[in-house]
Amino acid sequence: MSPEPLLAVSGLVKSFGGLVVLDGVNFHVMPGEILGLVGPNGSGKTTCINVITGLYKPQAGSITYRGRAVGGLPSHRLVHLGINRTFQVPKPFLPLTVRQNVEVAAAYGRPDDLAVDIDALLASVGLDGHAGKPAAALNSIQQKMLDLARALATGPRLLCVDELAAGLNPAELDGVAQKLRDLARGGMGLLVVEHLMGFIDQVTDRVIVLNAGREIFEGVLAEAVRDRQVVDVFLGTDHDD
């Protein structure tokens, strides 16, 4: 008897006009697991997160979260159920202070009324000392960390991380990797989209490789790089062995 997955995606389809971006994607995330979602540009990784977090409605297929069908629910409902995400290009509430950015998510995003220690949360993403500044005063890396704090303030069980590592220096990368591993150790399931393979290797338990809206590989990264189809997709078919 296997434990129930936190998130199960099955046959997910999403197209924009004639362009099919997700063409029947299947995968699942277990509680406490970090699943990497990799693939070339345009393979549907971000769209996948956008559908899971309610920005787009799926056209076919199912999204099951903790045994419940959640496909097509609006974002704020999904947040209340415990699904959240970070954005590839975060758009914080610029004139509000860093603290207010997190406060509003803690006030509106939690299903429980547990008080959130905002100072501790800001400190955990390295934003202590910035709480009183407007979010507009943060640089883009700090805005990414604020976006992570905003997501964490809602107490998610499933966190989708969209290219959080891009643009970070090696020390920051290690810090973020450690942070994500800590979250997973606490029972959170994570879906991580990333182009930096070193980072993927460092944090993920398992990866799904997407190409043209379909998953072409599922397993650990070390095996993925030996998979003929994966290598073809990333490097082209005309390479010499």
Partner 1 sequence: MRSALVTVAVVVAAAALLPLAYANQLLLFNFVVFLTLAQGVNIIYGFTGYLPFGYVGFFGAGAYGFSLAVMHLHLAPLPALACAAAAAVLLGLLLTPLLRLSGAYFAIANLAASQAMLQIVSNPNLTDITKGPYGVSLSGVFSPNLSYGVAVAILAATLAVMVFLRHSRFGLALQAIREDPVTAGMAGIDVVRGRTVAWLLSALVAGSIGGVFAWYVSVFYPETVFSPEFSIFAIVFALFGGIATITGPILGVLILYGIYNAIGISAPQYFQLIYGMLIMGLVLFLPNGIVSLFKRWGFDVP
Q: How far is the CB of 56 from partner 1 (least distance, A)?
A: 11
- The Cα–Cα gap between 158 and 127 comes to 23
Work out whether strand 83-86 and strand 34-38 pair parallel, antiparallel, or are unpaired.
unpaired
Q: Contact region for partner 1 (CB under 8 A) — 104-112, 192-200, 212-220, 227-235? A: 104-112
The residues near 29 (Cβ < 8 Å, ≥ 6 apart) are: 5, 6, 7, 35, 158, 189, 190, 191
Q: How far is the CB of 167 from partner 1 (least distance, A)?
A: 19
- The Cα–Cα gap between 232 and 211 comes to 11
CB atoms within 10 A of CB 239: 9
What is residue 4's DSSP assignment? Answer: P
Which residue of 3, 18, 67, 95 would you call a contact of partner 1, by CB under 8 A? 95
Question: Can residue 43 be called a binding residue for partner 1 (CB under 8 A)?
Answer: no
Question: Can residue 150 be called a binding residue for partner 1 (CB under 8 A)?
Answer: yes
Which residue of 14, 28, 45, 110 would you call a contact of partner 1, by CB under 8 A? 110
Contact mark string toward partner 1, 54..93, x via CB under 8 A: xx------------------xxx--xx---xx-x--xxxx
Q: Contact region for partner 1 (CB under 8 A) — 40-48, 53-61, 201-209, 213-221? A: 53-61
Q: How far is the CB of 149 from partner 1 (least distance, A)?
A: 11
Question: Can residue 109 be called a binding residue for partner 1 (CB under 8 A)?
Answer: yes
- The Cα–Cα gap between 211 and 222 comes to 18
* Token representation of residue 8: 């199960």
Which residue of 8, 13, 20, 104 would you call a contact of partner 1, by CB under 8 A? 104
Residue with tokens 């883009």: 140
Which residue of 70, 105, 192, 224 would you call a contact of partner 1, by CB under 8 A? 105
CB atoms within 10 A of CB 198: 12
Residue with tokens 């609006």: 74
E-strand stretches of 2-71: 7-16, 19-29, 34-38, 60-65, 68-69
Q: How far is the CB of 239 from partner 1 (least distance, A)?
A: 40
Which residue of 4, 40, 69, 108 would you call a contact of partner 1, by CB under 8 A? 108
Q: How far is the CB of 163 from partner 1 (least distance, A)?
A: 16
Residue with tokens 């993920």: 204
Binding-site ranges for partner 1 (CB under 8 A): 53-55, 74-76, 79-80, 84-85, 87, 90-96, 100-101, 103-105, 107-110, 147, 150-151, 153-154
